[in-house]
Amino acid sequence: MTFPPSFHEAFMRLALREAAQAARAGEVPAGCVIIHQPDAPDALPAGVPLIGRAHNQTELLKDPTAHAEMLAITQAASAVGDWRLTDTILYVTKEPCPMCAGAIILARIPVVVFGLADPKRGGGTVFNLFNHPGINHHPLILSGVLESDCRETLTAFFRTCRDGGMAKPGEKLKTES
């Protein structure tokens, strides 16, 4: 089913809010939300159930698997009572890494929307996991949604880190009040 760009942008803005929370905590600012896919292409975002929401927490949890997508997938599976997340859409600010791409494939998430490609570690663009011929599930990938906002979020975070303003988990960045 095709939704208008404004539909996807509304949920990417929620993912960007999650990314901002990660940045404030000193985490790489990636955010993710998962929704139930609406039955009608003219559905309003306000009426769509949000079943998973997370941001990176690898530093806080001291867990290399605590990526936004992994945490949101766990929440969504709990919300629906099944590990199969068919009839969902996953929104994430940065292209999923290979680990997250694998989890997306295993969870049978049919649509993945991301803002910014990851030319070094992208699970789809670099490692071709989403389209690999040996995989039995190939999600539809929509990229570039609010790409400039997603890029600015990451760029600002790493600029702050280089300038010595990196926060420790649980502390605010020096550039914020």
Secondary element (H or E) of residue 105 = helix 98-106
Whether 152 sits among the annotated catalytic residues: the reply is no
Work out the pLDDT band at 160, boundaries 50, 70, 90: confident
pTM metric for this prediction: 0.91
How far, in Å, CA of 61 to CA of 75, rounded?
A: 16
Q: CA geometry: angle at 11 spanning 167 and 144, to 5°? A: 80
Active-site option among 18, 27, 69, 95 = 69
> By C-alpha distance, which of 104, 37, 41 is closest to 68?
104
Query: What tens digit of pLDDT does each residue of 33-78 get?
Result: 999 999 998 999 999 999 999 999 999 999 999 999 999 999 999 9
Secondary element (H or E) of residue 156 = helix 147-162
Task: Tally Cβ neighbours within 10 Å of residue 35.
Answer: 25
Query: What tens digit of pLDDT does each residue of 146-159 get?
Result: 999 999 999 999 99
